[in-house]
Amino acid sequence: MKSNITKPNITALTRIATLGALAVLSINVSPAYAATLSRSVDVSGTPSAVWSAIGPFCAIKDWLPPVGTCTEKEGFPPERTLVTKDGKATFVETLTARSDVEHSYSYAFKSSPLPVTGHTSTIKVQAKTPGVSTVTWSSTYVPDPGKERDAQEALSGIYDAGLATIKAKFAK
């Protein structure tokens, strides 16, 4: 009796078995729930004017009320450490993308007291009408199990406070 087991067949069977094993293993792993958040505000000013005020990586200390200090660590990628005014919370964030032409930057939490993992955020300024810009702050993150509401409320509060301060700075 001739065997149909050849080297190509063994390779194919090995691949099929590996994929099958991965499929079975993935059934027992619950996927992480990724959440998104986006807040926007219209401000009086051109994108360039608004960006010049909020675009520098450590300018966040000038428009996010809870932030007391921002220290930028040079290198690649750039990193900033934010400490709240009461000194009770520290955030370490890494710049992941930046475009002065598009008036945007993105960053990721390296460490944070918030109940999230995998947090990435983007701040972007776009023209809306002549003399009016829209500032959008958006993020994706995975809330800690059982802390979904806490994470969403904390980030919403931070974003709303920052955007309100930006709007007030450019009020006519």
Tell me the per-residue pLDDT of 44-85, one tens digit each, with 9 for 90 and over: 999 999 999 999 999 999 999 999 999 999 888 999 999 999
Given a contact cutoff of 8 angstroms between Cβ atoms, the answer to whether 122 and 141 are in contact is: no
106 in a structural domain: yes
- Tell me the residue range of the domain where 49 lies: 33-169
Query: CATH number, domain at 65?
Result: 3.30.530.20
pLDDT at 74: 82
Between 172 and 94, where is the model more confident?
94
5 in a structural domain: no
Quote the number of domains for the chain.
1
Given a contact cutoff of 8 angstroms between Cβ atoms, the answer to whether 166 and 135 are in contact is: yes
| 71 alpha carbon, distance to own chain's centre | 19
Between 165 and 31, where is the model more confident?
165
